[in-house]
Structure 1
Amino acid sequence: MIELPPAKTVLALMVAFSLTACVRLNPQPLTEQTLSEQGGADRVAAQQDVEPITGPLTLEQVIARALKYNLDRRARMLEEALAFQQFDASRYDMLPKLLAQAGYTSRNNDKISQSRNSDDGTLSESRFISQERDHTVSSLSLSWNMLDLGVGYFGSRQQADRALIAGEKRRKAMHLLMQDVRTAFWRAVSAQKLEAEVRATTLVAEEALADAHQAETERLRNPLDSLRYQRQVLENLRLLEAIEQELSTAQTELAALINAPIGQPIALVEPDFDLDRQALAVPVATMEEVAMVANADIREQHYNARIARDETRKTLTRLFPSLNFSYGVNYDTDSYLVNRQWNETGVQLSFNLFNLLTGPAQLKLAEAGVALADQRRVSMQMAVMAQVHLARQQLINAQHQFQRADSIWQVDRRISEHMSNREATQVQSKLDRVANQTTAILSLLRRYQALAQAQTAEARLQATLGVEPKIGSVGEMSLDDLTQTLASSRNGWQLLAARARKDASL
């Protein structure tokens, strides 16, 4: 028989190994090569399964690409999927615990016992070995705690509500994404429309400025008139450069939203825009009613209130006595045992007496959580009610601003046409030409900006109401099918107006 080392020696060795492991644990910063390789792999993963852009994109195609390929939206969808997976896993907390155990025991000497006489206290000379030095023990036991069952049931209900909250957050993120995409699309359209005109007008302005410098140098004109001329040209150049800076980021912002390669030019199809007043035809009362049942923030607060109430029930369940049922099958290889295999059944009732002291405080805490959740729900409903009115008024203001910007652009366009005719007869100077073209470009830019604001205001109103296209699972739909679904869902305001008329007729 091999003699085992003393217990103190074994303990000392274990402590030494533990200290050595702690000393060798050092921070390991990421290397530049690792970061570079991971960055390349992430860029490849970001473009995985993304259909390439093969032609000009319409507004519906841009929104469809954003819904299907936007990276932030993918993260929201994964968060929702994770929440549902957590809900599925939480349901197993209600099952009994089935525990399988196996162990090996070894000692360096025999387990010997003696007996003591109860009358005179003398020890018996007989010594008994009651256990083998080496033996294995195995068991399979099933236990079910009724308290854990109740707590697990309410915990599973809470996790189900958290999964639904993740779905509402995904809806809200989708509304915000569609709103941002609309704004970025019209900014990119205006950049596509005005880029060539801005560059051409800038070249003319540079030529006019160079002519003014030459005229000043050669003293062909009054110095004061020449400086005033240069000042006006420079002011027009400043406006043109501001417009160019305003438009320079539009393509990048749109590419980031639809997960297109950064730097790749994106051709866009400008839709025929007619000011849509269908949203304003829906009565305010109908908008309020729709928002109360469909707004993502309100629905999230309803689920939070349910979670708070289930937390109260969990707290109350923990205050009950714990009843545990157990059944197990055991086996021991010890030859000194008469019955090496045996079955064991047990019922155990336990109660934490400190619950009598802490129970009322725990219940008050849970009830305070319910009151807070209810107050947040009421506050959110009132806030959404105000948001409905604000979003509707903002849409009215944005449409009015667009009409005004469109009228100004129409006038500036007609002025530009007249100036072009004068240019053909060489009546106007380069300064007049630059000034008129700059004014026309600025008016057209403001028209597009007002148009983008009108589109954003309408999308904001849709998000406040919780109105969204019925698109189903984006991952299972092809890009073409998703585009067609978005194109056919334009009549959402018409459906709401028809609903209002139907309710009014009842």
Structure 2
Amino acid sequence: MGIGFIGGARAGGTVRHRAFAAILLASAALAGCAVTPKPVTETEMSAVVDADRAIIESSAIGVTGPITLEEAVARALKQNLDYRTRLMEQTLAAGQLDASKYDMLPRLLTAAGYSWRDEDNIRKSVDSVTGRQSVGNPYISTDRERATWDIGLSWSILDFGVSYYNAQQNADRLLVANERRRKAMHNLIQSVRTTYWRALAAQQLREQVRSTITEAEAALADSRRIQENRVRNPVEPLRYQRNLLENLRLLENVDRELAVAEIELATLMGVRSGTRFTLVEPGKLDFRPLGGEVARMEEIALLNNADLREQFYNTRIAATDTRKALVKLLPNISFDYGYKYDGDKYLINQMWQEAGSRVALNLFNLISGPAQIRAAEMNVSAAEAKRMALQMAVLSQVHLARYQYDDALRQYRRAVSISDVDNELAAIARSQEQSQTGGSLERVSAKVTAILSSIRLYHAVAKVNEAISRVQASLGQEPEIGSLDEIPMDTLKEQVRKSLQQTL
């Protein structure tokens, strides 16, 4: 009876454990089969959008007064989301560098486990002299249920070498992210400077453009009535209508372009769409030819250009890959130390310490190693070729930016002269209409021409600012800014003002 009870208990335990294992396997299989695509719902999307908008609006700086060019650039640097993304990429690279430093440390490993078996681990005895099995001396070598844990320290010289070079590469990638942030800053400042003058033209000339369109359409109707009445030679009204219709088309195109300039500037500054703001027109513009010799500009560009510096760091990353390939060819020497515990009741010493060292070499690395080294060296050669090609491109960029600035400066001066003449003609046309020596048709035509000249003048100013930004981007010049989250707006505006005036 006792033997039957024990056997029944063992059988019942076996059944229970097997049933439990079967349930676990079935649950895992069903869970894997139950994974299906789950589209985002409108409620979830709305909640995310509302949360994002709340964060954006809470961090936005409200518009409390007229905005100068310096403030527009400062707002863009602080609030433009695309530029903030570049800053986050730089922060992410810094975090990866900090994390990679821990890879050089030894590994401190800990583990715990539990094992169970339904039958005893019974071993037979063998006579050490005769080699024959002893009939009556089987023994149990392992407990059915036991818990284990251990904690150990492991350090590999090969892993340390690879981790060291990985950390060096992450340090260079952080510098690459910094150069990309600088390039994004150059592009952002250039866009703000150009768009600012277009938006300023919209604010200064919008009402004048629309009122002139109305007057031009009225003048066009008057001209058609004159043509119908045949008061003058029919060729003259048609020629005037042709000129007036062309001016109307230009005015409508300008009105359409000016209508979106403020929206674009608001987006660049990180101001919420629909916010009304007033731009301040700078005082007397004093654009001057670039100072300094071209050789000096080339020297500055080769030292500070963001694209060139980024490629320099990429070359260093490629060179580090070569060193990593060499390190992987070396034997791996590792050292281990551990403190272990085993709950097996048949063990006399359930807790013990272990230490050891090991040398390992992957013999296939001796075969593939030369190919890996050649590939790494070719990568370095390609990176160096790109760097040298980029040096030539940067030098060409400096010469091109200088030429574009000189050309934009000539176009600006020409636009000033044309605008002055057209304004004088418009004034003469107004006085002739008042003295009845001229008609409204001539006045409207002169006014349209004067407005178009004013718009071209604003565009010429925008082109000069765009050219200046290209020169500064080529030379690698930008505001020296610390943390954008900590720097006050007034301090940032002052630094931006100094940077906008810098050309060499």
TM-score (norm 1): 0.92
Shift of 1:275: 3.5
SS in 1 for 2:59: coil
Structure 2 gaps, min length 5? 1-8
Greater alpha carbon shift after TM alignment, 38-47 vs 225-234: 225-234
Q: Alpha carbons of 1:413 and 1:229: their partners in 2 closer, same or farther (altered >3 Å)?
A: closer
Structure-2 residue corresponding to 1:17? 27
Greater alpha carbon shift after TM alignment, 172-181 vs 27-36: 27-36
Contact 2:124 2:133 in 1 (8 A): no
State the identity %.
45
Contact 2:432 2:439 in 1 (8 A): no
1:272 to 254, 278, 283: 283
SS in 2 for 1:4: helix
Q: Which amino acid aligns with 1:64?
A: A
Shift of 1:82: 0.5
Shift of 1:305: 1.2
Q: Deviations over 1:228-285 (max 9, x none)?
A: 555444333212111101211110110000001112222011002423225x111111
Greater alpha carbon shift after TM alignment, 226-235 vs 250-259: 226-235
Contact 2:433 2:440 in 1 (8 A): no
In the aligned structure 2, how far is the partner of 1:221 from the partner of 1:285? 64
Greater alpha carbon shift after TM alignment, 342-351 vs 18-27: 18-27
Contact 1:204 1:430 in 2 (8 A): no
In the aligned structure 2, how far is the partner of 1:222 from the partner of 1:421? 25
Residues paired across the two proteins, number? 493
Shift of 1:373: 1.1
Q: Deviations over 1:449-475 (max 9, x none)?
A: 111111100110100010122222222
Map 1:36-51; keep pairs closer than 5 Å.
36-51=46-61
Shift of 1:113: 1.1
Contact 1:419 1:436 in 2 (8 A): yes
In the aligned structure 1, how far is the partner of 2:401 from the partner of 2:240? 46
Map 1:385-404; keep pairs closer than 5 Å.
385-404=395-414
SS in 1 for 2:58: coil
In the aligned structure 2, how far is the partner of 1:122 from the partner of 1:324? 41
Shift of 1:432: 1.9
In the aligned structure 1, how far is the partner of 2:213 from the partner of 2:138? 111
Shift of 1:480: 1.2
2:200 to 180, 189, 207: 189
Structure-2 residue corresponding to 1:234? 245
2:68 is aligned with 1:68: no
Contact 1:208 1:430 in 2 (8 A): yes
Q: Alpha carbons of 1:41 and 1:426: their partners in 2 closer, same or farther (altered >3 Å)?
A: farther
2:394 to 384, 393, 408: 384
In the aligned structure 1, how far is the partner of 2:381 from the partner of 2:69? 45
Structure-2 residue corresponding to 1:472? 482
2:170 is aligned with 1:163: no
2:164 is aligned with 1:153: yes
Q: Deviations over 1:263-312 (max 9, x none)?
A: 2222011002423225x111111101111111111111111111111111
Structure-1 residue corresponding to 2:6? none
2:113 is aligned with 1:98: no
In the aligned structure 2, how far is the partner of 1:431 from the partner of 1:442? 17
In the aligned structure 2, how far is the partner of 1:251 from the partner of 1:384? 33
Q: Alpha carbons of 1:225 and 1:398: their partners in 2 closer, same or farther (altered >3 Å)?
A: closer
Shift of 1:18: 3.7
2:42 is aligned with 1:26: no
In the aligned structure 2, how far is the partner of 1:276 from the partner of 1:182? 14
Contact 1:236 1:434 in 2 (8 A): no
Contact 1:287 1:388 in 2 (8 A): yes
Greater alpha carbon shift after TM alignment, 367-376 vs 321-330: 367-376
Q: Alpha carbons of 1:27 and 1:69: their partners in 2 closer, same or farther (altered >3 Å)?
A: same
Q: Which amino acid aligns with 2:349?
A: N
Greater alpha carbon shift after TM alignment, 240-249 vs 110-119: 110-119
Superposed CA RMSD in Å reads 2.2
Structure-1 residue corresponding to 2:336? 326
Q: Alpha carbons of 1:3 and 1:415: their partners in 2 closer, same or farther (altered >3 Å)?
A: same
In the aligned structure 2, how far is the partner of 1:400 from the partner of 1:229? 32
Structure-2 residue corresponding to 1:353? 363
SS in 2 for 1:354: helix
Q: Which amino acid aligns with 1:264?
A: T
Q: Alpha carbons of 1:159 and 1:479: their partners in 2 closer, same or farther (altered >3 Å)?
A: same
1:177 to 171, 185, 188: 188
Structure-2 residue corresponding to 1:252? 263
Map 1:396-475; keep pairs closer than 5 Å.
396-475=406-485
Q: Deviations over 1:301-338 (max 9, x none)?
A: 11111111111111100100000100000011211100
Shift of 1:214: 5.6
Shift of 1:23: 2.5
2:137 to 126, 151, 154: 126
Structure-2 residue corresponding to 1:504? none
Q: Deviations over 1:424-463 (max 9, x none)?
A: 2234333322211111011111111111111100110100
